[in-house]
Amino acid sequence: MPKTVNFAQRWFTARGWKPFPFQKNVWAAVARGESGLLHASTGAGKTYSVWFAALNRFARPSPAPTDDKPRKRKTPPPPLSVLWITPMRALAADTARALQAPLSDLQIPWSVGLRTGDTSGSERARQGRRLPTALITTPESLTLLLTRADAQATFSTLKMIVVDEWHELIGNKRGVQLQLALARLRQWNPQLIVWGLSATLGNQEHAQQVLLGDGGTAVQGKVVKELIVDTLIPQGIERFPWAGHMGLRMLPQVLAEVDSSTSCLLFTNTRAQSEIWYQALLDARPDWAGLIALHHGSLSREVRDWVERALKEGHLKAVVCTSSLDLGVDFLPVERVLQIGSAKGVARLMQRAGRSGHAPGRPSRVTLVPTHSLELVEAAAARDAVNARLIEPRESPHKPLDVLVQHLVSMALGGGFLPDELLAEVRTAWAYRDLTDEEWQWALAFVRHGGLSLTAYPDYRRVEPDEHGIWRVPDARLARRHRMSVGTIVSDASINVKYWSKGGGGGSLGSVEEGFIARLKPGDGFLFSGRLLELVRVENMTAYVKRATTKKAAVPRWNGGRMPLSNELADAVVEKFDAAAHNIYDSPEMHTVSPLLEVQRKWSALPRKDTLLAEVLKSREGWHLFLYPFAGRHVHLGLASLLAWRLSRDTPLTFSIAVNDYGFELLSATEVDWSQRLNASLFSEEHLLADIIASLNAGELALRRFREIARIAGLVFSGYPGAPKSNRQLQASSGLFFEVFKQYDAGNLLLSQAQEEVMRQELDVGRLEQTLRRINGRTLDMHMIKRPTPMAFPLLVERMRESLSTEKLSDRIARMVRDLEKAAGPEVTV
């Protein structure tokens, strides 16, 4: 057998490169057989640090060709040795190119392949016979490979796993799914070397522990160089900031910035916003057609690939994008990065800034484009937070049962399992380290009978032990269905958008949510993929479209979750308001926004570090309370529900709740004496958990959360692609399931999980408790206002609302019907 070769040294020397110290550290650690976590920013050479570590340790050069047998059949590449996990399919192709590059030069006979949701059927079939030496895949596709009956044999040659962009996975259920897959692979091969690549996080020890357990080597990559955060200061400001519009008022200034730079990325926060901005840029500068492009996650892969390639080759002046371009792929030519609207977090802003200024000696720079006036305060705060490097931590979810239930079915397919063995394995995954026996029994019973009681669901069976006690999926139809549903990314049913052409579909443009198309009639116009389109017809889950002649167009909304402002950024914002309250305006942003803050101060007050600002208003709509704890929209939702519940516990009341990142509004149609009711007991930290649970039952939040849980646990099935319509008779909405469970099986643990998740993730009880403690340490600063203040206005006009009620349904209906009658005048007769 040939001896180990230092491929890394050979490759770097041949190019006259000098490895960074952190790269050498990784090579040395892997040479010793250690696992580890590498913290480094994108584009800092981290791919090659782990890739060459793997090659050094496991690859051997091709044997020199022998002259006497030139026609000898090529020896196949070595079997699967390295798994490369990437969070985004879009990154897989680029990663493959990067991994492939050194192989031929160094005469390493390894093959590199992809396995993602985009992989073609023929490629899958080829891989079915033999996987490449290095396989690039996503957490979902890895789990799918583990559902193969021969999974253990397939992975028996695996030596190393690389988890790319671990910071994108650690905080969500996809990461938990990966934790479970890693537990399985480590069970089969305890010597497995695992390396994570992560951007800098506020809690690096936790990130390492979740991925590696105890032990492992931490390597710090190149430290981020200088970062510049500045703001496009608007010409004038609106006194009533409204978060509902898209910030197009800043268009002329953005045009000037784009015009003066060779290449530019414009990050937006939603897909709808990116469509609107792209269209606005084109309308203003028709001569830019072909020079600017649009990139978001719902566009077809062909479109996205084209944009990424054109950007890399320097053909594009600007790309309007969403977080779809946050990760990976190092676009060298980008000169400028603009962030439209709040970036919501320090880490995200730094990452986006890092997209620019890769030329040596040039700092990275991001320019913030405020979409409403108060975002000027946030911009100033963001710069402070970035300069202080207040990077957010990310925590792994804690034993989500829906992911566990899905994993049990996957493992039953992947060769079957013995419960005791699998339990021990599952508990080695960090998220399930303290899974109780009761929870385990429940999960087993759920996949077997659908519930804990043996008689609960007699017709139902998903997984059953065979005669040897090995749990398997007996029904081939259910097996197929499970494989189609693996994953934890939940989206609404989506419908393909294609050009209409006679005798078949034309080119594919991407996908939009079914609910959006359902509201359109043939002939209606809508904006998608940067084009004005007209709906021609809808059939077989495809919307056929043609270029529109009208100018009137709807813009699809995708139901993506809205990110809350991070703690770190929120604190920095309060600092800015507090400074303003002390007449300190120390930046161009704060100078510009000062007239607005003066109105706020005159009509009410500015929020300060030591006060809790409350505003009370009586309007035609009813009795309003505005409160500003600055704890991010998720905590505000929890806090608002909690207060609404405590206020309405004794007197039946119904509240409509609006939240944003600065505060929330409680609105009642019947009288509430806020000055008397807003007392210490309302903010008490006692009985917190019980009160939150009660508030959930009175509101609608748990139902919303259940949508995701129902899909992951396999309750709701989105259907086979192209299936005949009759299958849709077997679909029910998660809302319907939620109601049925609540009424007929209230003890179902998925319901409790929905509740717990709302508390932990959506409402973040830990942060809520901390917020209450902070509130109790502050002085209540209450103001009766005659009209909405600049801070209250965005809440007042917020249309997305939650409600909480302790009134009888019949009383609520009676009041609404009475209001209707008053509004409508004399009765209409048929």
Partner 1 sequence: MRPYLSIQLAGAELWLLAEKAVYYPAERALLIADAHFGKAAAYRRLGQPVPHGTTDDNIQRLDNLLAGYDCKHLIFLGDFLHAPESHAAGTLSAIQAWRERHASLAITLIRGNHDRRAGDPPAELRIEVVPEPLLLGPFSLQHEPDPHSTHYVLAGHVHPAYRLFGRGRQRLRLPCFYVQSNVSLLPAFGAFTGGMNIDRQEDSRVFVVGEGAVWEAG
Residues that bind partner 1 (CB under 8 A): 446, 449-451, 456-462, 475, 478, 481, 620-623, 654-656, 667-670, 714-715, 717, 726, 729-730, 732-733, 735-737, 740-741, 743-745, 748, 801, 803, 808-810, 812-817, 819-820, 824, 828, 830
- Residue with smaller CB distance to partner 1, 341 or 451: 451
**Number of Cα atoms under 13 Å in the Cβ half of residue 99:** 28
Q: Note whether 461 and 448 are within 8 A (CB).
A: yes
The least CB distance from residue 746 to partner 1, in Å, is 9
Quickly count: other Cβ atoms within 10 Å of residue 17's Cβ: 12
The least CB distance from residue 631 to partner 1, in Å, is 23
- Residue with smaller CB distance to partner 1, 288 or 457: 457
Which amino acid is present at 267? F
The least CB distance from residue 43 to partner 1, in Å, is 46
d(C-alpha 247, C-alpha 281), whole Å = 13
Q: Would you state the structure tokens that stand for residue 367, as one six-digit string?
A: 């320019």
Element (H, E) at 154: helix 151-154
The least CB distance from residue 730 to partner 1, in Å, is 6
Q: Note whether 383 and 587 are within 8 A (CB).
A: yes
- Residue with smaller CB distance to partner 1, 309 or 801: 801
The least CB distance from residue 621 to partner 1, in Å, is 6
The least CB distance from residue 286 to partner 1, in Å, is 38
- Residue with smaller CB distance to partner 1, 308 or 802: 802
d(C-alpha 242, C-alpha 636), whole Å = 19
The least CB distance from residue 637 to partner 1, in Å, is 16
- Residue with smaller CB distance to partner 1, 261 or 803: 803
Residue 639, helix vs strand vs coil: helix
Residue 718's closest CA among 709, 706, 728, 703? 728
- Residue with smaller CB distance to partner 1, 438 or 821: 821
Residue 193, strand partner residues: 160
d(C-alpha 241, C-alpha 249), whole Å = 12
Element (H, E) at 715: none
The least CB distance from residue 807 to partner 1, in Å, is 10
The least CB distance from residue 144 to partner 1, in Å, is 18
- Residue with smaller CB distance to partner 1, 150 or 821: 821
The least CB distance from residue 724 to partner 1, in Å, is 11
The least CB distance from residue 648 to partner 1, in Å, is 13
- Residue with smaller CB distance to partner 1, 27 or 741: 741
The least CB distance from residue 210 to partner 1, in Å, is 30
Q: Note whether 319 and 265 are within 8 A (CB).
A: yes
Q: Which long-range contacts (CB under 8 A, 24 or more apart) does 285-288 make?
A: 285/255, 285/259, 288/317, 288/318
First to last CA, the chain: 92
The least CB distance from residue 713 to partner 1, in Å, is 9
Residue 346's closest CA among 72, 104, 639, 568? 568
**Number of Cα atoms under 13 Å in the Cβ half of residue 785:** 27
The full length of the chain comes to 830
Residue 612's closest CA among 624, 634, 628, 632? 628
- Residue with smaller CB distance to partner 1, 217 or 668: 668
Which phi and psi (to 5°) does residue 807 adopt? -80, 160
The least CB distance from residue 633 to partner 1, in Å, is 18
Which phi and psi (to 5°) does residue 502 adopt? -65, 140
Element (H, E) at 114: strand 112-115
Paired sense of beta strands 542-547 and 531-539, if any: antiparallel
Residue 804, phi-psi category: left (phi > 0), alpha (psi -120 to 50), beta (remainder): beta
d(C-alpha 377, C-alpha 237), whole Å = 12
- Residue with smaller CB distance to partner 1, 581 or 643: 643
- Residue with smaller CB distance to partner 1, 136 or 520: 520
Q: What angle, rounded to 10 degrees, do the helices at 701-712 and 688-698 form?
A: 80
The least CB distance from residue 459 to partner 1, in Å, is 4
d(C-alpha 385, C-alpha 392), whole Å = 10
Place of tokens 């019980």: 690
Paired sense of beta strands 654-659 and 664-668, if any: antiparallel
Q: Quick one: DSSP state of residue 693?
A: H
Place of tokens 């419908």: 495
- Residue with smaller CB distance to partner 1, 456 or 490: 456
d(C-alpha 609, C-alpha 576), whole Å = 10
d(C-alpha 56, C-alpha 59), whole Å = 6
d(C-alpha 628, C-alpha 617), whole Å = 14
- Residue with smaller CB distance to partner 1, 582 or 725: 725
Q: Quick one: DSSP state of residue 391?
A: P
- Residue with smaller CB distance to partner 1, 106 or 463: 463
Side by side, the strands of the sheet bearing 531-539 are 504-513, 494-501, 542-547, 531-539, 525-528
- Residue with smaller CB distance to partner 1, 158 or 715: 715
The least CB distance from residue 735 to partner 1, in Å, is 7
Paired sense of beta strands 336-340 and 364-369, if any: parallel
- Residue with smaller CB distance to partner 1, 133 or 748: 748
